[in-house]
Amino acid sequence: MPNTCRSMMMMLLMMLTLFSDPVAAAADQLSKLQYLKNSLFRRELLSGSAPHFSRLNGVGPVYDVRTYGADPTGRNDSTEAILNALSDAFNKRSSNGTLITDVYDLGGAQVYLAGGTYTISRPLRFPAPGAGNVQIHGGTIRASDAFPAKGYLIDLTPPHGAPKGVAYSYEFITLRNLLLDVNYRGGGISITNSLRTSIDNCYVTHFTTEGIISRGGHETSIHNSFLGQHITGGGDPKERDFSGTAITLAGNDNIVTDVVVFSAATGVFISGQANILTGVHFYNKATALGGTGIYVKLPGRTLTRIVNCYMDYTGIVAEDPVQLLIANSLFIGDAYVLLKSVNGVIDGVNIVDNQFSGSNQQNGIVQLDESKTPFNKVGSVLVDRNVARTIKIKSTVAKGLAQGNGTSWTVDFNPILLFPNRIDHVQYSVRVDDTALFPVHALRNTTGNIVVVESNVTVSASVYVSVAQ
Ligand SMILES: *[C@@H]1O[C@H](CO)[C@@H](O)[C@H](O)[C@H]1NC(C)=O
Ligand SMILES: *[C@@H]1O[C@H](CO)[C@@H](O)[C@H](O)[C@H]1NC(C)=O
Ligand SMILES: *[C@@H]1O[C@H](CO)[C@@H](O)[C@H](O)[C@H]1NC(C)=O
Ligand SMILES: *[C@@H]1O[C@H](CO)[C@@H](O)[C@H](O)[C@H]1NC(C)=O
Ligand SMILES: *[C@@H]1O[C@H](CO)[C@@H](O)[C@H](O)[C@H]1NC(C)=O
């Protein structure tokens, strides 16, 4: 609190100075801002929970791959040179400080690509595990035709597997400002059993397996990046043939944010828990052509959040979803959510506050695939507050009205309710047109999502019904 007060007072002072003499004060303001920033930074470092950091990430020793003989024109093979730079970054550590147990702090060492394009014929596999706080950045890496099929350009997998008893192989590895061209040989980045890996401003293309795969470990953060098997701006005549997966999250607690997936059969495949996708735009392969934006394959233990995403002609598939949130997202081009029954379990699912638009009134915004087995263990499922234009709205709560002169009023909720023949809760009220009449009425039937209310005398009435599944 005192720090915040002081900062605010300084800001105020700076603003006052600025107003009194704009030109001179502007420079002054800059230096004060710098001072303020530095002082805030220092405080953060002093009070931080990572006392072993001797330097900030980004200002550590620089290993320029060109000095190791790498060819920035891409003509000669640079595999050996880059691996040597990587090896030095890992081995010439300046302190014995550690990050998490058994992971040495490399002090922000940088393997620097200096804006070059480098051809490699083998994966850039990380050296022995147990190191962190290092980054590879600033250039293009391209697989040659000799690159082994199914390899990954950058592979954070220890050469001889993880040593016994060591929980994590690498920590705080940053891959930044990279163009990774897999040349249809395999994948872009593979991360195994690592902690806090950051992929920032990377463009991964021409993969056949995965653009990025993260297995085991946790907290891989993929942000501000672009992934596509083919370089296209959409409407590609070969879209039907797109294959591969842009991102596979086979671990927990990963973050994908502000990413565009522009071609691949599957955009993001999730088989780990507590992952979050936010601000991701998918136009990888239209559902109508067999593509999937997001495939969540953790039947019975989904625990996944998809928020503020843009599903552009390609939708979401979730198997036996248990604890799944899909919110504040935009679906266009008939993209929809498919809930697929594997063992009939669905619970803790919220699909709310999304926008859908399409061209096919037969298509529902949320659909069930019960071809294997029906959903028969249905817990709390809320599909509500979505808006749909020229695509059929589906919901788990609904309201209806029946009007007429008679003894029976029927509201058929099948067009809107998601689950067939399932009404858990009904509320209704009867408004009789002739206020002199006061009939007895009752809810008589809800079978097959059709609500029937009857009265004991003929009356002209409106019956308002709301239901929940
Ligand atoms: C590429 O390899 C050739 C042959 O070994 C060599 O003469 C040349 O200097 C290399 N070019 C670069 C930029 O490393
Ligand atoms: C790290 O520890 C080893 C073994 O104790 C020692 O030989 C080496 O000098 C230390 N390195 C640094 C940078 O402190
Ligand atoms: C409703 O139907 C009854 C019986 O056919 C008839 O007597 C009555 O006038 C009708 N009421 C209205 C409001 O149409
Ligand atoms: C309808 O119910 C009311 C209230 O119980 C009763 O007074 C009336 O006789 C009933 N009418 C018929 C036709 O059963
Ligand atoms: C409810 O409706 C279903 C379907 O029309 C019918 O088979 C069933 O007998 C009805 N139940 C009652 C209590 O009227």
45-72 residues labelled b (16+ CB within 10 A) or e (exposed)? eeeeeeeebebebeebbebbbbebebbb
Is residue 316 a contact partner of residue 305, using CB atoms and an 8 Å limit? no
22-39 residues labelled b (16+ CB within 10 A) or e (exposed)? eeebeeebeebeeebeee
pLDDT above 80 for 1? no
Is residue 280 located within the same domain as residue 424? no
User: If you measure from the C-alpha of residue 96 to the centroid of ligand 2, how many angstroms do you get, rounded to a whole number?
Assistant: 6
4-49 pLDDT tens trace: 434 444 443 333 333 333 333 344 443 433 433 333 333 333 333 3
Q: What is the CATH number of the domain that holds 177?
A: 2.160.20.10
Domain that holds residue 432: 398-468
Is residue 385 located within the same domain as residue 402? no
- β-partners of residue 335 are none
User: How far, in Å, CA of 437 to CA of 449, rounded?
Assistant: 29
- Residue 52 falls within a domain, yes or no? no
Is residue 321 a contact partner of residue 296, using CB atoms and an 8 Å limit? yes
Q: 403: Cβ below 6 Å to ligand 3? A: no
Ligand 5, CB within 6 Å, residue ranges? 444-445, 447-448
- Residue 1 falls within a domain, yes or no? no
Query: Which pTM does this prediction carry?
Result: 0.84
User: How far, in Å, CA of 457 to CA of 436, rounded?
Assistant: 13
Is residue 298 located within the same domain as residue 415? no
Is residue 344 located within the same domain as residue 403? no
Closest alpha carbon to 411 in 371, 345, 467: 467
- Residue 19 falls within a domain, yes or no? no
Is residue 427 located within the same domain as residue 409? yes
Q: 94: Cβ below 6 Å to ligand 2? A: yes
Q: How many other CB atoms are found less than 10 A from the CB of residue 186?
A: 23
User: If you measure from the C-alpha of residue 95 to the centroid of ligand 2, how many angstroms do you get, rounded to a whole number?
Assistant: 7
Is residue 189 located within the same domain as residue 221? yes
- The residue out of 389, 406, 431 marking a domain boundary is 389
Q: How many helices (H) and strands (E) does the chain have?
A: 3, 32
Q: 460: Cβ below 6 Å to ligand 3? A: yes
Closest alpha carbon to 394 in 426, 362, 428, 359: 362
Counting from 1 in the atom list of ligand 1, the atom nearest the Cα of 70 is 14
Q: Which of 458, 459, 462 to mutate to test the pocket of ligand 3 (most atoms within 8 A of CB)?
A: 458
- Residue 460 falls within a domain, yes or no? yes
Which burial class, exposed, middle or buried, applies to 401 when counting CB atoms under 10 A from its CB (0-12, 13-18, 19+)? Answer: exposed
Which ligand lies nearest to the CA atom of residue 412 in the structure?
5
> What is the average per-residue pLDDT within 62-84?
97
- Residue 413 falls within a domain, yes or no? yes
pLDDT reported for residue 362: 79
pLDDT above 80 for 265? yes
Is residue 130 located within the same domain as residue 275? yes
Is residue 145 located within the same domain as residue 257? yes
- Residue 30 falls within a domain, yes or no? no
Is residue 383 located within the same domain as residue 442? no
Helix (H, G, I), strand (E, B) or coil at 455: strand
Confidence of residue 267 (pLDDT cuts 50, 70, 90): very high
Is residue 321 located within the same domain as residue 186? yes
User: How far, in Å, CA of 226 to CA of 263, rounded?
Assistant: 10
- Residue 282 falls within a domain, yes or no? yes
166-206 pLDDT tens trace: 788 999 999 999 999 999 999 999 999 999 999 999 999 99
Q: How many other CB atoms are found less than 10 A from the CB of residue 268?
A: 31
- The residue out of 337, 372, 389 marking a domain boundary is 389
Is residue 453 a contact partner of residue 428, using CB atoms and an 8 Å limit? yes
Bigger pLDDT: 70 or 97? 70
- Residue 55 falls within a domain, yes or no? no
Is residue 355 located within the same domain as residue 238? yes
- The residue out of 370, 389, 408 marking a domain boundary is 389
User: If you measure from the C-alpha of residue 457 to the centroid of ligand 4, how many angstroms do you get, rounded to a whole number?
Assistant: 7
Q: Specify the number of domains making up the chain.
A: 2
pLDDT reported for residue 40: 36
Is residue 177 located within the same domain as residue 310? yes
